Amino acid sequence: MGDGHVVDLKAFSEVQLAAFFKTLKEPAFRAKQFLLRVYTKKAVSIDDITEFSLPLREHLKGISFISSLQTVKRLESTDGTRKYLFALTDGQTVESVLIEDDERLTLCVSSQVGCAMGCRFCLTATGGFKRNLKAHEICDQILSVSRDIEPERKITNIVLMGMGEPLSNYEEVTHALKIMTGWLNISKRRITLSTAGLVPELERLYSDGFRVNPAISLNATTDDLRSIIMPVNRKYNLKTLLSACRRLPIPERRRITFEYVLLKGVNDSPDDAVRLVKLLKGIRAKVNLIPFNEFDGANYKRPSDAAVLEFQEIVAQGHISVFIRKSKGRDILAACGQLKAGY
């Protein structure tokens, strides 16, 4: 830092920013002024940081910059869902999805460019893994969409369910969570983090104090099947994953969400539903059933509405809260499992 190279100020942590300003013989509180202006007041350029003197701003423009995502394309579904394609500074692209549901406005953000998990029902997995997103690139998705919709609307909920496995990018994702719950003033109760089941990182998340809402991508009731459609199960099987879920210090009035993508003739039978009830016994659980969202080249089919309703009924009879997820944005490939940063 401060070695003559042009640096991205947004890429620094608060501690690193304070050290950077120290090299300029500026007080450490400049870091807080910068973060307040960038994340709370959504500044996009050094000129916007009016807390800094004009000479300081002019000097900073010669040695640094503030990065931001470039909106390559924005698509809007017939149901009002919006999908954004963002370009990063290195030319890679990611997608975010804005979903309106009654009073809630939920933004689904990405944590990686691509994904290495290899889940066979997910379009993102077909593109392979490119790289992790930095914390500011994760949060920039929130800032960019906020600029697009404000002042008329405000994002109410964040779900880390976009491209990538959040827990395999642990350090940057947790740094992003600190920014969200701090400078962006988003309640941890309104943030959900989805994982395919990286058990050590899931347990670490809670031991490190990040009490956001967990969502576990389950999708099968036997190890044999889950290992086929979700390779992560070969390392952390159902028993290991669900034992970890039972140990999580979930607040009394909250539950763990289990996501279950229903694949026709694969995991949607009444026997599967019965096994799911048994697997979740003793866990304060909520189940989201997601009828498979088809895409070109997919190896699976969407089950019939009757099969989905029968599955839901069996799980409900097991005294588990179970909902059928509305798959919004399917016509623009913005539904669950359909993101792939390109058109």
CATH number at residue 53: 1.10.150.530
* Shared-domain flag, residues 85 and 181: yes
CA end-to-end span of the chain, whole Å?
38
- Active-site hit among 26, 95, 201, 259: 95
Q: How many domains does the chain have?
A: 2
* Shared-domain flag, residues 16 and 86: no
Provide the pLDDT for residue 151. Answer: 85
* Shared-domain flag, residues 61 and 93: no
Q: What is the CA radius of gyration of the chain?
A: 21
Gap between the Cα atoms of 85 and 271, Å rounded = 40
Give the single-character DSSP code of 123: T
Is 165 a catalytic site residue?
A: no
Last residue of a domain, one of 31, 50, 65: 65
Using a pLDDT cut of 90, give the percent of the chain over it: 84
- In this predicted structure, the answer to whether residue 323 has a pLDDT above a threshold of 60 is yes
Give the single-character DSSP code of 84: E
Last residue of a domain, one of 49, 65, 81: 65
Provide the pLDDT for residue 152. Answer: 84
Provide the pLDDT for residue 77. Answer: 87
- Active-site hit among 119, 122, 245, 336: 336
Rounded to an integer, the average pLDDT of 245-256 is 92
* Shared-domain flag, residues 181 and 230: yes
Provide the pLDDT for residue 317. Answer: 98
* Shared-domain flag, residues 177 and 282: yes
* Residue bearing the bigger pLDDT, 2 or 129: 129
Handedness of CA 85, 88, 94, 97 (dihedral sign): negative
56 domain residue, yes or no: yes
- In this predicted structure, the answer to whether residue 46 has a pLDDT above a threshold of 80 is yes
Domain that holds residue 36: 7-65
Provide the pLDDT for residue 103. Answer: 85
Is 336 a catalytic site residue?
A: yes
* Residue bearing the bigger pLDDT, 150 or 14: 14
Do residues 96 and 109 make contact, with C-beta atoms less than 8 angstroms apart? yes
* Shared-domain flag, residues 170 and 189: yes
Gap between the Cα atoms of 230 and 215, Å rounded = 16
230 domain residue, yes or no: yes
Rounded to an integer, the average pLDDT of 293-321 is 94
| pTM (2 d.p.) | 0.93
Non-local CB neighbours of 220 within 8 Å, separated by 6+ positions: 226, 229, 230, 233, 238, 267, 272
343 domain residue, yes or no: no
340 domain residue, yes or no: no
- In this predicted structure, the answer to whether residue 1 has a pLDDT above a threshold of 50 is no
* Shared-domain flag, residues 308 and 223: yes
- In this predicted structure, the answer to whether residue 251 has a pLDDT above a threshold of 90 is no
CA distances from 263 to 36, 101, 144, 274, 333 (A): 46, 25, 34, 16, 18
User: For all residues of the chain together, what is the average pLDDT?
Assistant: 93
Among 180, 173, 254, 183, CA closest to 208: 173
- In this predicted structure, the answer to whether residue 333 has a pLDDT above a threshold of 80 is no
Using a pLDDT cut of 70, give the percent of the chain over it: 94
Gap between the Cα atoms of 341 and 226, Å rounded = 26
Last residue of a domain, one of 65, 81, 106: 65
Provide the pLDDT for residue 186. Answer: 97
* Shared-domain flag, residues 89 and 61: no
